[in-house]
Chain A
Amino acid sequence: MREIITKIDEITGNIATLKATGVGLGELAVIQSPGRSTLGQVISLSGGSVTVQVFGGTKGISTSDTVRFLGVPMQAKFGESLLGRIFNGSGQPVDGGPEPVEEEIPIGGPSFNPANRIIPMQMIRTNIPMIDVFNSLVVSQKLPIFSIPGEPYNQLLARVGMQAEADIIILGGMGLKFDDFIFFKRTFEEAGVMNRVIMYMHLASDPVVECLLVPDMSLAVAERFAEAGRRVLVLLTDMTNFSDSLKEISISMEQIPSNRGYPGDLYSQLAARYEKAVDIQGLGSITILAVTTMPGDDVTHPIPDNTGYITEGQFYLRYGKIDPFGSLSRLKQNVVGKVTRKDHNDIMNTMIRLYSDCRESRNKIAMGFKVSKWDELLLAYGKDFESELMELNVNLPIEAALDRCWDILARHFDPVQTGIKQGLVDEFWPKDTIKAMEKAA
């Protein structure tokens, strides 16, 4: 067995430094204090000195605690028996069940070879019109929900998770409030899907940096399931806590921060996780839906900013709705009108354009300018758009949602006012709306 070190030289922040030999970068260590043990990972070597990042935090650690190096980097348990189980941020079961014993797999493994990737083309139906119609989610997409704290982002995450027809859902909680943990657990249990859910729960009360392992464990397990042909949905909440932990470590390491205290490699760190999303030809897939709470609703803050540069679009959650402005699915063009109905593209663009015009009319009112007949039409349209499509409780299959779009348009406009191509109007414009009846009379 490996040597046990009994003296820690230095403890700062979440970092401990000690003398040891034969230790590799990234190797796992167990720090044994009286009554508790925590995991650590080697992050730097210098001569005989080894610096260990302590996941459980260094609070209470004494220079005389024992440290044992395990000779391997951090691993995760993998196997079918993980389904339905709940683990903590270090991968220990917290549901009272036994340790899974099938297999230990490395985490944070190499990238998928880009030459093996395929163009993703399978739409994920969520029955949320603001997603399905306006920013379709596609298998293997990586997409964050940008949200101000306090918005129902976890509710949205759970709902998409349940409706997304995935074989396996992996929920990675980082700094999760206990109430939210219970909410997720209940929701999955009540829907009867718990037997295909795996939860890694790092709670707000746990040592902060322990959450750093959550995305890697979730994604390593997801990767193995995807290779075995399973469609995996990974839900990560909240990546802002993950990024803040990275910041803590880098400050302890006395790295020079690049932007508002965040390390210069924040982009690479986040990308290493998000890029695990993949659609493997002939096998399974990983789709990642994450939450990024925006400090101060500021999208230029380093966390949402770096995230936006990595992910394939984003959903803005504002005032309980997915805001069509700023929200974007970069993969929607792969499916819109190709796997969905042929009116999808035009109706989507028209609805958004008119809704944007409606917002301008609202601005006019706010500025005290005159309101025209056209403005009035737009205002009435915007109200219906919001209540019948944007509200988060609207639950419609995409076909019904597209029909509803036509309905709303026909209620407020003449076809020419919408600028929709004649061919589509002929085929899809509702024939029996009140407006049409009035005209006939």
Chain B
Amino acid sequence: MSALGKVVAAYGNMVTAAFEGSVRQNEVAYILCSDGGRLKSEVIRVRGDKCNVQVFEDTRGIQVGDTVEFTGDLLVVELGPGLLQQIYDGLQNPLPKLSEAAGLFLKRGIYLASLDRESKWTFTPTAKEGQEVAAGDVLGWVPEGKFEHQIFVPFNFIGKATIVKMSPKGEYTVDKTVAVVKDENGKTRELGMVQVWPIKIPLKLYQERILPTEPLVTGCRIIDSFYPVAKGGTACIPGPFGSGKTVLQQLISRYADVDIILVAACGERAGEVVETLREFPHLEDPYTGRTLMERTIIICNTSSMPVAAREASIYTAVTLAEYYRQMGLGVLLLADSTSRWAQALREMSGRLEEIPGEEAFPAYLQSRIAEFYERAGLVRLRNGQTGSVSIIGTVSPAGGNFEEPVTQGTLAVVGAFLGLTWARSNARRFPAIDPLISWSKYLDQMRESLDRRAPGWIDRVKGAQRMIHEGAEVKKRMDVVGEEGTSLSDFIMYLKAEFLDAVFLQQNAFDAVDAANTLERQVHTFDQVYAILLKDIKAKDKDDARNIFFRLTALFKNWNSSPWGEAAFRNYEQQVMDFLRD
């Protein structure tokens, strides 16, 4: 089964090994360093009696002739109760435990159990003795925070089996047997609460994929109202450095109306993850009143951690997301940044001396991106319930230029494009999503569901989108001919677009109320904004018009920062109504 080999060449994080016996593509291997280190690696190419492995660790000290142990197993994650609230590295090592074991700094070659082996869970059996089961069938559940964490027959279980014995309701550690089954060959197997699944293989134990038609509310107006994301859908956030990708993702991670959030910090700053991991235990989940941490898993492979593990981290994250989807939950995966993952692919491809494509990215970049986003989706499970994985990934285009391979490859597969630009972030128009370039195909796809909440919604939103473009056209002309060369009606068009931008598309992330809006509130505000856009504004001259919109903008901003339904809110709303009636 597991073969042995020897290092014959090494460069960067790629090692070439000669082996005897058989080796599987993508199986895990360990390189035994002369200093006693055991370095985890993955086979990424096999050729004759040699194979290339990417090493998930610092490769210093590796020598020609070092032993390579092949495990025969693909790179897997552990699945079971206790994943929530964890902070893992890209290979699912729990970072806080690693700190207990190794101190302030990471240490290569230490691999710890992903799930805690000591904590006990209250298992309630739901399957019956004598029942016939197969991979993915539910044996029982344990409470994990507010969720009923389902315990499944392992997803890699082959064939049918009969339950011989179910453990009674009680307290169990994850390794304890909760069911004994007899498989098709009459072999008895003990099943616990923890199982493994290879990260690069999508978990597809559902009945069917269905078209996402329900909105994933992020609390961000420009997204939810203008360029929405569906539950089970995908979106990308490309933008140059400092344009606000991470802040936007952090906001979404707090306010999104999903059950579980997976934060995948992929090759970005460690300091940014720290904000999440230090603050979430103290912040309230707006939907349940529990702490945000209780619905969150952090996968953290920051920029100075080994590059190959960064490549794996994205898959680790999406596999955990799929696992919770299997329980009928709505999961949102936030990946920051997918460009760093693509760069990890590029580094390996370069070391393999593959023929490079554009900007030296491998030719298969596009298909890898597609495969990744395709793991999102709304699915109907075998028990009739639905579950979803939604993915919102940031892209960090070189030079801020969207015409580069990762942005283009991503745009080809996602359902929504939220493009950030310096023009907006420098002008402090946050979130810096540029309405002139962004789009979402979910607006039409969710028409039925959205129009049910607010009749005629889609058409009004599209009307407003058109005005943003018209306003931008006027502005362009005005930059050439000046204000004096612009007609009053054009000028008012421009002011209307600016008004819509200022009071609806922009949102103050640091205002306790304005930071996130429910969909109900968004619809409510938007309808008044839209009424003003349609209203014939009577102004004596441009200064008069400007003053009218100054006043309106201030009024709406105050309205936006007043708590929903309270006296101040109603007061400002009344002023808006009064203006509209005039």
Contact = CB atoms under 8 A, between A and B. Distances in A.
Interface of A: 21-27, 43-48, 73, 109-120, 140, 227, 255-259, 264-265, 267-268, 271-272, 275-276, 280, 300-302, 305, 308-310, 312-314, 325-326, 328, 330-331, 333, 349, 353, 356, 364, 367, 369-370
Interface in B342-374: 343, 346-347, 350, 356, 359-361
Contacts of A300: 398-401
A47 B18 CA distance: 11
A43 B11 contact: yes
Interface in B30-74: 34, 58-65
The list of the 7 closest CB pairs from A to B, nearest first, reads A300-B399, A271-B303, A26-B60, A275-B304, A308-B241, A115-B95, A44-B11
Contact of B105 (A44, A113, A349, A364): A113
B106 A113 contact: yes
B300 interface: yes
Contact of B11 (A45, A120, A301, A325): A45
A111 B305 contact: yes
Nearest to A370: B484
B277 interface: yes
A117 B347 contact: no
Nearest to B483: A369
A45 B99 contact: no
A308 B242 contact: yes
Contacts of A310: 269, 303
Contacts of A256: 350, 356, 360
A427 B61 CA distance: 64
Nearest to B63: A24
B560 to A, nearest CB: 16
Interface string B452-475: 000000000000000000000000
Given A309-B241, A325-B426, A370-B482, A117 B270 contact: yes
Contact of A111 (B59, B62, B302, B483): B302
Q: Which of A256, A276, A356 has the most CB of B within 10 A?
A: A256
Given A23-B63, A265-B343, A308-B240, 5 more contacts: A119-B271, A268-B307, A271-B267, A275-B270, A331-B271
Contacts of A314: 242
A255 B350 contact: yes
Contacts of B398: 259, 300, 302, 305
Interface in B61-103: 61-65, 87, 95-96, 98-99, 102-103
Contact of B360 (A119, A257, A325): A257
B63 A114 contact: no
Nearest to B7: A45
B108 interface: yes
B413 interface: no
Given A267-B343, A271-B303, A115 B98 contact: yes
A333 B509 CA distance: 12
A116 B61 CA distance: 27
* Most chain A Cβ neighbours within 10 Å, of B7, B96, B398: B398
Contacts of B7: 45
Contacts of B106: 110-113
Contacts of A313: 242
Interface in B308-344: 340, 343
20 contacts: A21-B64, A45-B7, A110-B58, A111-B105, A113-B105, A114-B87, A115-B87, A115-B277, A116-B99, A257-B360, A259-B360, A265-B347, A268-B303, A275-B302, A276-B304, A300-B399, A300-B400, A308-B240, A308-B241, A331-B271
A45 B343 contact: no
B363 to A, nearest CB: 13
B59 A25 contact: yes
Contacts of B87: 114-115
B275 interface: yes
B160 interface: no
Contacts of A364: 482
B8 interface: yes
A73 B59 CA distance: 12
A213 to B, nearest CB: 15
A259 B359 contact: yes
Contact of A264 (B58, B60, B279, B346): B346
Given A44-B10, A45-B64, A259-B398, A112 B105 contact: yes
Given A21-B64, A309-B241, A312-B271, A114 B104 contact: no
Contacts of B11: 43-46
Nearest to B247: A330
Contact of A22 (B63, B240, B279, B307): B63
Contacts of B225: none
A110 B346 contact: no
Contact of A227 (B104, B269, B305): B104
A314 B422 CA distance: 14
B412 interface: no
B382 interface: no
B187 interface: no
B300 A114 contact: yes
Interface string B275-286: 101110000000
A326 B8 CA distance: 49
A46 to B, nearest CB: 4
Nearest to B87: A115
A256 B279 CA distance: 42
B126 to A, nearest CB: 36
B294 to A, nearest CB: 18
A350 B558 CA distance: 18
A369 B482 contact: yes
Contacts of B99: 113, 115-116
B477 interface: no
Nearest to B105: A110
B104 A118 contact: no
Given A24-B62, A25-B62, A113-B99, A367 B304 contact: no
B396 interface: yes
Nearest to A267: B343
A66 B360 CA distance: 37
A110 B107 contact: yes
A378 to B, nearest CB: 15
A301 to B, nearest CB: 8
A45 B10 contact: yes
Contacts of A110: 58, 105-108
B274 interface: yes
B271 to A, nearest CB: 7
B273 interface: yes
A112 B400 CA distance: 29
Contacts of A113: 95, 98-99, 102-106
